Amino acid sequence: MKKFILFLSLTVLLSPAFAQNLVDNKGQNDPKAKVILDKVSAKYEAYTSMKSTFTIKIEDTKGVQKEDPQSGTLYLKGNKFKVELGDQEISCDGMTLWTYLTDVNEVQISDYEPSADMIEPSELFSVYDQDFLYKLNADVTEGGITYNEIELTPIDKDNSGFFKIKMYINKTDYSIVKAKIYSKNNLVFIYKVDSFTANPSLTDDFFKFDATKYKGITITDLR
């Protein structure tokens, strides 16, 4: 699904900000944006595990919807993650990636090797500090609530699958409520956080796919 939507394109997602002049002419970061991002990072990095339900919409640059919205659930624990989205269930224990296709009862197994256009789940809340330039835009009000809008652009534009990200952050508790990822193929991936649970009880085995639980499953090992 489009490179797993740039890993949640995200990710995320969970809810982590980022056109006009994205940065000043010297390519410097906005210190006001960094204050907010540091607080966001500190908030989420304090958790040992996370669960978030979310909705993804895909639009073109003119705001025309390209696919029906999809709802999903993301689980995180350190470098482990699990995503339930549509007819896919993607599990990773940090080393192995299992992609279970529910409609055909098939699991594809591969080594987990993040590519340049993916943001790893474990990096969602700190990657901005080394891989992006960031800027605080004007506040945005939706549904009577005002949010910080922070815009990020990748420093290494040539090896990134997207050219900017806009993050919408609750000004009261520094939670991420929405993210827009602008891809190079003129699509905009919009992630809205519907719910968030801090520190759910998740075992390490939760992030491993157990094929024995699925009768008649086809196993495709790509390692």
Q: What is the pLDDT of residue 9?
A: 42
pLDDT per residue over 117-133, tens digit each? 455 554 555 555 557 78
Smallest CA-to-CA distance from 51 within 206, 197, 202 is with 197
Angstrom CA distances, 133 to 37, 43, 199, stand at: 12, 21, 30
**What CATH number does the domain located at 2-221 have?**
2.50.20.10
Dist. CA 4–CA 9, nearest whole Å: 7
Contact 16, 10 (CB under 8 A): yes
Dist. CA 201–CA 50, nearest whole Å: 9
Write out the chain in H/E/C secondary structure. CHHHHHHHHHHCCCCCCCCCCCCCCCCCCCHHHHHHHHHHHHHHHCCCCEEEEEEEEEEECCCCEEEEEEEEEEEEECCEEEEEECCEEEEECCCEEEEEECCCCEEEEEECCCCCCCCCHHHCCCCHHHHEEEEECCCEEECCEEEEEEEEEECCHHHCCEEEEEEEEECCCCCEEEEEEEECCCEEEEEEEEEEEECCCCCHHHHCCCHHHCCCCEEEECC
Tokens of 116: 């340049």
Report the share of the chain in percent with pLDDT over 70.
80
pLDDT per residue over 76-115, tens digit each? 898 898 989 888 899 999 899 999 999 999 999 999 886 5
Dist. CA 209–CA 100, nearest whole Å: 8
Q: What is the pLDDT of residue 119?
A: 53
Dist. CA 152–CA 33, nearest whole Å: 10
Q: What is the pLDDT of residue 120?
A: 53
Q: What is the pLDDT of residue 121?
A: 52
Task: Please report, for the chain, the start and end positions of each structural domain, with discontinuous segments joined by +.
Answer: 2-221
Tokens of 214: 């699925």
Low-confidence ranges of the chain (pLDDT < 50): 1-26, 116-117, 122
Contact 90, 83 (CB under 8 A): yes
